Amino acid sequence: EKDITILAIESSCDETAAAVIRNGREVLSNVISSQIELHKLYGGVVPEIASRKHIEKINQVIEEALSEAGITLDDLDAIGVTYGPGLVGALLVGVAEAKAISYVKNLPLVGVHHIEGHISANYIEHPDLEPQFLCLVVSGGHTHLVLVRDYGKYEIIGRTRDDAAGEAFDKVARAIGLGYPGGPKIDKLAKEGNADAIPFPRAHIEGSVYDFSFSGLKSAVLNYINSCQMKGVEINRADVAASFQKAVTDVLVHNAMQAVKEYGIKKLAIAGGVASNSSLRNAMREACEKNNIEFYHPSPVFCTDNAAMIGVAAYYDYINGTRHGLDLNAVPNLKL
Ligand code: KG4
Ligand code: ZN
């Protein structure tokens, strides 16, 4: 059978990324131009700066992705692109670029949901993984428990009521002076701290067992820091980081385990930037072993935003017949 080669583009937040994927799971190239250094100066992503940087970088990133894969635009079968959710101005850059290539080269255009991309990152390094499975998507913007019924068929069974897990990491990191992005820094500092030092709350939502809430935890951390300052006691930042991280991890693992048991699912995957967190990975692996569940997670480079995951999702959408027209638009609040 003929190979299917897809160029994928991702520009929903602060990474300009392009990748070439063959037959859905083989990554021929995966180029990511991160804007983190730029946004660091402001303590978070500045949407207009992100859009402008995408415009500057996108052609170069695509050229690199093609040349690393050893192909040209003439070798492609389709173009995949993230069209939501995300920052509208950032998304528009990738969408406009994908439409231009699709038009000029007369290639099928496949718009991809960003979360579907994160979930699909698990297929890259696990050739044996197929639906159905449960996926915990934990990123800077999302915290979802998703039942993957089949390729392209998703059922959201739990979600955050307020902050996303990654957002909580970033806010707590800022409060203890670690800077942006906070997740990896808390992960690192927590290794030197005692996770049982401070009893931060584990929020469980009345009547909805799979939903999450992290704003109470975030406030508890801020209150703890304030009360230490008022008492003139120096805080142990490593203990705060470790105790906070443990509180997040406990809730994520608890809800995920409830769900696999309730739905009788034997496979659990994690995805999104926070899925590279070492405490979450270890705790989830342990819980899965205890409950006889197969555990999957992507390498860190496929956890945070990248275009390879978009190419994988685009492949399955493509073979299932998804085609978008040249009127494809960015949808900042796109539903899964
Ligand atoms: O998936 P992602 O790159 O972007 C979104 O789609 O949101 O996720 C970024 C988020 C940030 O909040 C970042 O702090 C968090 O993932 N993150 C981590 C780690 N690495 C990245 N959080 C905890 N531990 C990490 N090691
Ligand atoms: Zn993401």
- Domains, the chain, in order of start with CATH, read 5-119+303-319 (3.30.420.40), 131-298 (3.30.420.40)
**pTM for the structure as a whole:** 0.96
- On the 0-12 / 13-18 / 19+ scale of CB atoms within 10 A, 236 is middle
Measuring CA to CA, which residue among 275, 285, 44 is closest to residue 138? 275
| 3-class DSSP state of 201 | coil
Q: Is the pLDDT of residue 41 over 90?
A: no
Radius of gyration of the chain (CA): 20
Whether the CB of 274 sits within 6 Å of ligand 1: yes
What is the per-residue pLDDT for 1? Answer: 79
Distance between Cα 276 and ligand 2 center (Å)? 12
Give Cβ neighbours of residue 1 (< 8 Å, ≥ 6 apart): none
DSSP class of residue 232 equals T
Range 107-122 average pLDDT: 98
Q: Is the peptide bond before 85 cis (omega within 30 degrees of 0)?
A: yes
What number does the ligand 1 atom closest to the CA of 276 have?
Answer: 26
pLDDT tens profile 239-292: 999 999 999 999 999 999 999 999 999 999 999 999 999 999 999 999 999 999
Ligand nearest to C-alpha 169? 1
Please, what is the average pLDDT of the chain?
Answer: 96
Tokens encoding 127: 């050739």
Distance between Cα 4 and ligand 2 center (Å)? 25
What CA–CA distance (Å, rounded) separates 165 from 245? 10
pLDDT tens profile 58-100: 999 999 999 999 999 999 999 999 999 999 999 999 999 999 9
Distance between Cα 181 and ligand 1 center (Å)? 8
Whether the CB of 82 sits within 6 Å of ligand 1: no
Whether the CB of 166 sits within 6 Å of ligand 1: yes
Whether the CB of 152 sits within 6 Å of ligand 1: no
Q: Is the pLDDT of residue 206 over 90?
A: no
Which region among 109-113, 206-210, 217-221 has the lowest average model confidence (pLDDT)?
206-210
